[in-house]
Amino acid sequence: MRWTFVWKTVVLGGVIITLAGCASVKREAGFGDVRRLAGDRTGQTVRWNQGSSQDDEVASAVRVLLAKELTADEAVQIALLNNRSMQATYEELGIAQADLVQAGLLTNPIFSISARWTDGGPGGTNLELGITQQFVDLFALPLRKKIAAARFEQTKLRVAGEVVSVAADVREAFYRLQGAEQMLELRRSVLDAAAAGVDASQRLRDAGNITDLNLATEQATLEQARIDLSQGEADVLEDREHLTSLLGLWGNDVGFKIGQHLPDLPATDVPNEGLEAIALRQRLDLLSMQAQTKSLAQSLGLAKKFALLPDVQIGVDSEREPDGSWMTGPNLSVPIPIFDAGQAATGKARAELRQSQHAYYAKAVTVRSQVRAAVNRLSITRRRAIQYRDVLLPLRQRIVDQTQLQYNGMLTGVFQLLQAKRDQIETGTQYLSTLRDYWIARVDLERAIGGNFPGAMPVTQPTARPSDEVAQSAEHQHH
């Protein structure tokens, strides 16, 4: 008869366990959403290397890309596939997913047993057995799962945001390097022009037509320019390293080649309308803060609901008296909320909620400002680049042409001709610098609005609400 109680306990436990469900942590948890969120905003695919055969496909895809001159998009693609710290970031999903699962798990019941012997007195051993179970869990579970799901959502948004951010960083580093290499090339031809001038001076000296002082002066100017150029070369190498590390490359791969020319200014500029609204809709850090607010609201709900009864334990225990009889019965323990009625916990949750709301609005204002600033910078840089390209560069060409005509008429000498050429190349360098600044300003604007420009790529919003997400994952878990 006493065994029926034990069985009851076991059955009770089993029911509880069944209710809890055999939740397990899935791999690739939520990555599909990250892929979609990031893909919509960057136009790139992302891969979470799980140690499967698919990793080799990724590696060979990267190889194929590295074989030729990279475009900005291809560099971003390589980074998203190859950068190990991205992979580390993806694991946060696993962590958050685990938290989600954890939230759905009931606390394990606690089985206790104790035995006592009399110290010289009549009778046998006193045995106590008991099983207790957290009771509030059962009711709190759905709410806890909602909170965890909201946090999971937040993590997904954060990870996707990280992807978008890295994509922007790679783009910026790419344009910076591309511009720097292109400008270095031009500076080398300025140096060539200067060297040609010194060559001419040397020949004049050899013919006995100029003084040693003239020649030495020309040579000194050239050699100083050479030294200045080598500093420029060092700067380019640093820019290159920055990109290399973003792409996650090392060893033989550091010799990758990028396209030799910055892309031209696009024919029309981006439309300025509605960019602030797009940013507010699209920016993952804002969405992440929204998700955080939601989860804090749910935490507040939880705190309010279970403020008074945070912890109730029920159980069954059975005791064998020294005389051999078993005493079995349920037990219940309840903290009496005299001192702590949960007001602090609630207050804290409320404050945290309000805080996150304020933070969200503040961020929204900042985001708007960032968008405006980026738009202005882009437009000004574009105008400057156009001024260089359409006005000043043609003028420099005209100057070179006219100087050549003067040279042909023996009205000016070869040095003036070379100087006109050097001035032209210098202006070309400034144009390239402005063009590079334009593309980087564009990346900044994309950062400000949280993704590619509308029209470039359709951007979908994370429409699924966290609770739906949880329901779907719960269904899957039963298979």
Partner 1 sequence: MIPIDRNHVSRRDALSLAALAGGAMLLKNTPSRAEDATENRKTEIDVNKTYPPGEPGRDYTPVTIPNGWALPYTVVDGVKVFHMVAEEVDHEFAPGLRAHCWGYNGSVHGPVIEAVDGDRVRIFVTNKLRTHTTVHWHGILLPSGMDGVGGLSQKTIAPGETYVYEFPLRQHGTFMYHSHYDEMTQMGMGMTGLFVIHPRDEQRKRPDRDFALLLHEWRIDPGTYRPNPNEMTDFNTLTINAKVFPGTAPLVVKLGDKVRIRIGNLSAMDHHPIHLHGYVFKVTETDGGQIPEAGQWPETTVLVSVGSTRTIEFVADNPGDWAMHCHMTHHVMNQMGHGIPNMIGVKPGDLDEKLRPLLPGYMTMGQDGMGDMADMGMPTLPNSIPMLGAQGPFDYITMGGMFTILKVRENLASYDQDPGWYENPPGTRALLASDEVLRQNGIANDGSSAPRLNTTKVNAPSVAATQSVVPAREHDMKDMNMSDSTPQIYTCPMHPEVISDKPGKCPKCGMKLVKKN
Select the residue interacting with partner 1 from 38, 149, 400, 449 (CB under 8 A). Answer: 400
Applying CB under 8 A, which part among 87-95, 264-272, 327-335, 401-409 lies near partner 1?
Answer: 401-409
Candidates 104-112, 123-131, 206-214, 296-304: pick the segment binding partner 1 (CB under 8 A).
Answer: 206-214
List the one residue from 54, 60, 209, 260 that touches partner 1 (CB under 8 A).
209
- Quote the least distance from Cβ 418 to partner 1, whole Å: 8
Q: Is there binding between residue 324 and partner 1 (CB under 8 A)?
A: no
Minimum CB separation of residue 203 from partner 1 in Å reads: 5
Distance CA 71, CA 86 (A): 21
Compute the distance between CA of residue 24 and CA of residue 18 in angstroms, rounded to an integer: 14
By beta-carbon proximity to partner 1, the closer residue of 71 and 217 is: 217
Q: Using CB under 8 A, which of 6, 20, 136, 210 touches partner 1?
A: 210
Tokens describing residue 30: 């939520």
Q: Is 413 in the site for partner 1 (CB under 8 A)?
A: yes
Segment lying near partner 1 (by CB under 8 A), choices 76-84, 145-153, 374-382, 407-415:
407-415
Q: What residue type is 28 in one-letter code? A: E
* Pick 208 or 330: Cβ nearer partner 1: 208
Q: Please give the residues from 166 up to 195 whose contact with partner 1 meets the rule CB under 8 A.
A: 189, 192-193, 195
Question: What is each CA distance from 162 to 40, 157, 477, in whole angstroms?
Answer: 14, 8, 28
Whether the CB-CB separation of 88 and 119 falls below 8 Å is answered with no
H helices present in 43-129, as ranges? 54-66, 72-82, 84-103
Does residue number 215 form part of the binding site for partner 1 (CB under 8 A)?
yes
Residue from 331, 415, 471, 472 that binds partner 1 (CB under 8 A)? 415
**Closest among 91, 82, 435, 430 to 243, alpha carbons compared:** 82
Q: Rounded distance, CA 286 to CA 294, Å?
A: 12
When asked if residue 219 is in the footprint of partner 1 (CB under 8 A), the reply is: yes
Binding map of partner 1 across residues 284-323, x = CB under 8 A, - = no contact:
----------------------------------------
State which of positions 345-384 bind partner 1 (CB under 8 A).
none
Residue 412 or 430 having the CB closest to partner 1: 412
Q: How many angstroms separate the CA atoms of 393 and 399, rounded?
A: 10
Environment class of residue 339 by beta-carbon count within 10 Å: exposed (0-12), middle (13-18) or buried (19+)? exposed
Q: Does 93 bind partner 1 (CB under 8 A)?
A: no
User: Token pair for residue 326?
Assistant: 């078993």
Distance between CA 10 and CA 19 in Å, rounded? 14
Task: Find the shortest distance in angstroms from Cβ 186 to partner 1.
Answer: 11
Helix spans in 207-311 (H): 212-247, 275-282, 284-305
Structure tokens at 348: 């804290």
CB 342 within 8 A of CB 307: yes
Distance CA 411, CA 407 (A): 6
Sole binder of partner 1 in the list 49, 71, 87, 202 (CB under 8 A): 202
- Counting residues that bind partner 1 (by CB under 8 A) gives 40
Report d(CA 216, CA 439) in Å as an integer. Answer: 42
- Kindly tell me which residue out of 26, 188, 205, 242 binds partner 1, with binding defined by CB under 8 A: 205
Q: Nearest CA to 446 among 218, 293, 279, 334? A: 279
Q: Which of 477, 473, 395, 400 is nearest to 148 (CA)?
A: 473
Residue whose CB is less far from partner 1, 402 or 461: 402
Residue in 120, 122, 251, 409 binding partner 1, rule: CB under 8 A: 409
Work out which of 64, 216, 277, 332 binds partner 1, going by CB under 8 A: 216
- Shortest Å, Cβ 35 to partner 1: 49
Interacting residue ranges for partner 1, rule: CB under 8 A? 189, 192-193, 195-196, 198-200, 202-210, 212, 215-216, 219, 222-223, 400, 402, 404-415, 417-418, 421
